[in-house]
Amino acid sequence: MHDWRKFVWAVVCGFAGIIVLLSVFILLMNPYGNLPRILLSEHVISDINQRFQYPALIRSKRYDSIVIGASDSRLLHPRALERVFGGRFANLAMNAGLAYEQYRLSALFIREVKDRRTLVVGLDRVWCDEHADEERITFRGFPEWMYDDDWRNDLRYMLNAKTVEISGRRFGQALGFREARFLDGYEVFTPPESAYDPVKVRAKLWGKGGPNSVEPVVPAYAASAEERARWQYPALAWLDEIATRFAGRVVFVYVPAHIAAQPTPGSATAARREECKARIGAIARRHAAPFIDFYIHSEITANDANWWDRLHFRLPIAERIVDDIERALATGKDDPMGDWRYLEGPRTGAVSSTAE
């Protein structure tokens, strides 16, 4: 009996010791950058779930300008945007980022960064989702506890296998065994350009049937004013709030998608999307915010060679989009070649191409 008690106490004490050691290890490594800095002074991203990593980039105060969006905005390079807008950019677009998640990230930036300069909102279908207020997060989870002002309530969520794993990666980075990931949020997540295979890409874009033309619906669907009034876009209230609170330059950019991913022209779905864009335009107009629309049929969206799949364009197109944003803001007009529509905002002289 005595030996049994000793064994139980040894197991309990050993388990408690392991918990204490892991807790100290997590506290020292601070894998999400949300705890007080004890050993490591600067946060380094050590995990691919941006929802858990971006708050620390915001709280670092290194950036006065950000991009928010989903993965279709992730290739907008911070240095290229700095050339257009000035300031210091971080790209905080998230894989499969939903409107609510982007809203919470923006709200944290507004609360934490006092000298805000530019917010580029990479718009896509999630902002026009009629269920955006119900389907707020993905299976990846969203750490609401990390987006408030009290780090102490984070502690209850920190002791788990995933956090220990990320702490181990952070330790490896501190020792120089692992490379730091996307310090300003930017990462080329698409395959190398040398691996581009037009045959495989064409299959992703069009399916087994191969390329086909996108024929418009004739006659086009015409919704009545009463029907349009019933259409709901709940995420636009968050967009309006962001533009109201930002107190800096806000630019709305509806990012492109391949024409195979866009609603068929003239369809009811296309009509709902255009109504959503019109309401975004009204928000832009209230806040004198430029609204540049690349989500149209154009050479960018119709050329299969510009894409990896229906939502993700290639690196040269990412560079082209930033150049197009600069030209759109300079002219305040639609592109004569058809790359973009300039829907709202200042018509001329919207931004200088050099840093102030």
Per-residue pLDDT at 265 exceeds 70:
yes
Q: Quick check: helix, strand or coil at residue 262?
A: coil
User: Buried (b) or exposed (e) across 238-273, using 16+ Cβ within 10 A?
Assistant: bbbebbeebeebbbbbbbbbbbbbbbebbeeebbbb
CB within 8 A of 10, min separation 6: which ones? none
Position 2 confidence tier, pLDDT thresholds 50, 70, 90: low
What is the amino acid identity at position 244? Answer: T
Which pair of structure tokens corresponds to residue 238? 């968050």
Q: Are strands 118-123 and 89-91 parallel, antiparallel or unpaired?
A: unpaired
Angle between helices 315-331 and 78-85 (to 10 degrees): 10
Q: What are phi and psi of 54, to 5 degrees?
A: -65, -35
pLDDT in tens, 183-215: 799 999 999 999 999 999 999 999 876 677 788
CA angle 114, 101, 236 (to 5 degrees): 85
Q: Exposed, middle or buried by CB within 10 Å (0-12, 13-18, 19+), for 122?
A: buried
Distance between CA atoms of 244 and 38, rounded to whole angstroms?
A: 37
Q: Mind listing the domains of the chain with CATH numbers?
A: 52-150+183-344 (3.40.50.1110)
Specify the residue for token string 């894998």.
31
Residue whose structure tokens are 């330059």: 249
Query: Is pTM, for the whole model, over 0.95?
Result: no
Highest mean pLDDT among 5-9, 16-20, 122-126, 201-205: 122-126
CB contact at 8 A, 50 and 90: no
Question: What average pLDDT does the segment 158-187 reach?
Answer: 84
Of 36, 89, 84, which is closest to residue 64 (Cα–Cα)? 89
pLDDT score for 230: 95
CB 62 within 8 Å of CB 115 = no
Give the tens place of pLDDT for each residue, 77-105: 999 999 999 999 999 999 999 999 999 99
Residue 348 neighbours by CB under 8 Å, 6+ apart: 330, 331, 332
In this predicted model, what pLDDT tens digit does every residue of 143-164 receive, in sequence order? 999 999 888 888 889 988 888 8
Enumerate residues 6+ apart whose C-beta is below 8 A from 183: 44, 45
Residue 113 CB partners (closer than 8 Å, separation 6+): 58, 61, 63, 64
Place of tokens 């629309």: 293
pLDDT at 355: 40
% of residues, the chain, pLDDT over 90:
69
Average pLDDT along the chain: 90
Per-residue pLDDT at 356 exceeds 70:
no
Q: Using DSSP, state whether 203 is helix, strand or coil.
A: helix
Q: Could you tell me the CA-to-CA distances from 233 to 58, 229, 266, 275 in Å, in that order?
A: 28, 11, 20, 10
